[in-house]
């Protein structure tokens, strides 16, 4: 019998939040979920074993980066991305659209696709809907994304509309190019901060009946309130039986607010990047453990945290490692930051099941940001 790709197990009666399960060939994912980002086929500083232990159920990797280095053909030769990086749970690959627009210099957008220069060696490259899908089929992730144009913020309505229309036409081409069984292709809804364009984008992509939908072009510089507003307009017109993936979002407050508005999936480089900057995520906000006040602080990054880092090491030691440029400092902080977000999602799921997500949100936000 055919296993359902996505099942809603519980719909909250008080908010748009819901509990779900995504089924893939590499296992199940409980939603709402936060996906750690492994841009270059590795979640920075982490081993797969550590990620399993943290309870990561799915990670994200990047078409753009893997296309440039080591190349999708090499990854395919290795037996696909799961085998290449020895990660046996689900993977989602981004299409490369966002990265081309945020990283690559000298890009030229045409109906056909995007010409750009590699940020690594300046070589001329070309990505199109077909090419992105071809690469993602070679990588073999469980969930892949349509190649989109991600409009910047701010951008005028005309630009955003043209960009949204192009994204829709590209989504059709992606779907036509996609043929790998057992791999789910998600469409990406664009339309910037314009509610009517978002609804248009959604309507056009719903016609294509993707198994899931990304919400792109948010968390690109707009105020958080505006992002929440877009979600409130958009999510009610999205299908209830498909996962909704808010791309590039990962701060604790946005995760909670996103879930309350009906989002099922999130990803962000934030927890790993923050660690590289010597910052730890805590319930009271971001702790700059790299700084001098922590040099003789013999408490864990967060009291009560059950992660390997907090069970075994002090702020003073981690600060020493970071100041001495020792990799273990960033590793330990990364473990904690990912543990924090993965546990937060567990707490959120529990709160949904017990219909107390609003209370959870209020309690969490009353403390968050109150550091020092």
Helices (H) and strands (E) in the chain, counts: 15, 16
Binding to its own copies by CB under 8 A, coded x per residue (else -) over 161-200, reads ----------------------------------------
CB 279 within 8 A of CB 287: yes
Q: How far is the CB of 97 from its own copies (least distance, A)?
A: 21
**Residue 49 or 181 with smaller CB distance to its own copies:** 49
Beta sheet of 108-109, edge-to-edge order: 108-109, 114-117, 124-127
Which span (27-35, 106-114, 202-210, 325-333) binds its own copies, by CB under 8 A? 325-333
Q: What are phi and psi of 33, to 5 degrees?
A: -130, 145
* Number of chain positions touching its own copies (CB under 8 A): 39
**Residue 218 or 332 with smaller CB distance to its own copies:** 332
Which residues have CB under 8 Å from 292's CB, separation 6+?
Answer: none
Binding to its own copies by CB under 8 A, coded x per residue (else -) over 66-95, reads ---xx---x--xxx----xxx---------
**Residue 82 or 361 with smaller CB distance to its own copies:** 82
Residue 226 burial (CB count, 10 A): 13
Distances (CA, A) of 279 to 12, 114, 270, 332, 334: 34, 36, 10, 11, 9
**Of residues 273-312, which lie at the interface with its own copies (CB under 8 A)?**
295-296, 298, 308, 312
Going through the chain in order, the beta strands assigned E by DSSP cover 6-11, 18-24, 27-31, 33-36, 59-62, 91-94, 108-109, 114-117, 124-127, 143-145, 184-189, 213-215, 244-246, 265-268, 280-282, 285-287
Which one of the listed residues 73, 94, 148, 241 is annotated catalytic? Answer: 94
Which span (234-242, 255-263, 278-286, 317-325) binds its own copies, by CB under 8 A? 317-325
**Residue 69 or 370 with smaller CB distance to its own copies:** 69
Beta sheet of 91-94, edge-to-edge order: 33-36, 265-268, 244-246, 213-215, 184-189, 143-145, 91-94, 59-62
With the C-alpha atoms ordered 291, 296, 297, 300, is the resulting torsion angle positive or negative? positive
Q: How far is the CB of 149 from its own copies (least distance, A)?
A: 26
**Residue 77 or 209 with smaller CB distance to its own copies:** 77
**Residue 313 or 360 with smaller CB distance to its own copies:** 313
**Of residues 39-68, which lie at the interface with its own copies (CB under 8 A)?**
40-42, 44-49, 65
Q: How far is the CB of 316 from its own copies (least distance, A)?
A: 6
C-alpha–C-alpha distance, residues 312 and 305, integer Å: 11
**Residue 188 or 321 with smaller CB distance to its own copies:** 321
Selected from 8, 208, 316, 365, the binder of its own copies by CB under 8 A is 316
With the C-alpha atoms ordered 36, 42, 46, 51, is the resulting torsion angle positive or negative? positive
Selected from 124, 324, 366, 372, the binder of its own copies by CB under 8 A is 324
Determine if 317 is a binding residue for its own copies (CB under 8 A).
yes
C-alpha–C-alpha distance, residues 367 and 352, integer Å: 20
Determine if 332 is a binding residue for its own copies (CB under 8 A).
yes
Which one of the listed residues 121, 241, 267, 347 is annotated catalytic? Answer: 267
Does the active-site annotation cover 267?
A: yes
Determine if 36 is a binding residue for its own copies (CB under 8 A).
no
Nearest to 215 by CA among 272, 260, 148, 153: 148
Please name every residue paired with 185 in a beta bridge, in sequence order, or none if there are none. Answer: 144
Q: How far is the CB of 135 from its own copies (least distance, A)?
A: 16
Active site residues: 94, 267
* Chain positions contacting its own copies, by CB under 8 A: 40-42, 44-49, 65, 69-70, 74, 77-79, 84-86, 295-296, 298, 308, 312-314, 316-317, 319-321, 323-324, 326-328, 330-332
């Amino acid at each position: 019998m055919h296993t359902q790709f996505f099942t809603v197990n519980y719909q909250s009666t008080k908010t748009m939040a819901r509990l779900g399960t995504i089924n893939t060939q590499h296992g199940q994912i409980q939603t709402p979920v936060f996906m750690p980002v492994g841009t270059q086929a590795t979640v920075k500083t982490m081993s797969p074993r550590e990620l399993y232990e943290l309870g990561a159920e799915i990670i994200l990797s990047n078409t753009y980066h893997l296309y440039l280095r080591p190349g999708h053909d090499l990854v395919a030769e290795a037996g696909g991305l799961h085998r290449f990086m020895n990660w046996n749970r689900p993977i989602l690959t981004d299409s490369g659209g966002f990265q081309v627009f945020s990283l690559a210099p000298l890009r030229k957008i045409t109906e056909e696709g995007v010409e750009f220069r590699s940020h690594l060696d300046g070589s001329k490259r070309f990505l199109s809907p077909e090419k992105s899908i071809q690469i993602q089929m070679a990588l073999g992730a469980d969930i892949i994304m349509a190649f989109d144009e991600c409009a910047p913020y701010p951008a005028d309505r005309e630009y955003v509309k043209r960009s949204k229309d192009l994204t829709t036409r590209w989504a059709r081409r992606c779907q036509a190019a996609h043929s790998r069984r057992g791999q789910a292709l998600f469409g990406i809804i664009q339309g910037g901060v314009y509610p009517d364009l978002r609804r248009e984008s959604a309507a056009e992509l719903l016609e294509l009946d993707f198994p899931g939908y990304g919400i792109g072009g948010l968390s690109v510089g707009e105020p958080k309130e505006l992002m929440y507003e877009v979600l409130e307009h958009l999510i009610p017109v999205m299908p209830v039986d498909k996962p909704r993936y808010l791309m590039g979002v990962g701060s604790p407050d946005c995760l909670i607010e996103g879930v309350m508005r009906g989002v099922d999936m999130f990803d962000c480089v934030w927890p790993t990047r923050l660690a590289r900057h010597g910052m730890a995520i805590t319930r009271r906000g971001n702790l700059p453990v790299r700084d001098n006040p922590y040099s003789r602080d013999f408490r864990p990054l967060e009291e009560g945290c059950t992660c390997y880092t907090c069970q075994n090491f002090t702020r003073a030691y981690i600060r020493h490692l970071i100041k001495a440029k020792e990799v273990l400092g960033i590793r330990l902080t990364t473990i904690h930051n990912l543990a924090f977000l993965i546990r937060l999602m567990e707490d959120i799921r529990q709160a949904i099941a017990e219909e107390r997500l609003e209370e959870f949100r209020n309690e969490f936000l009353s403390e968050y940001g109150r550091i020092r």
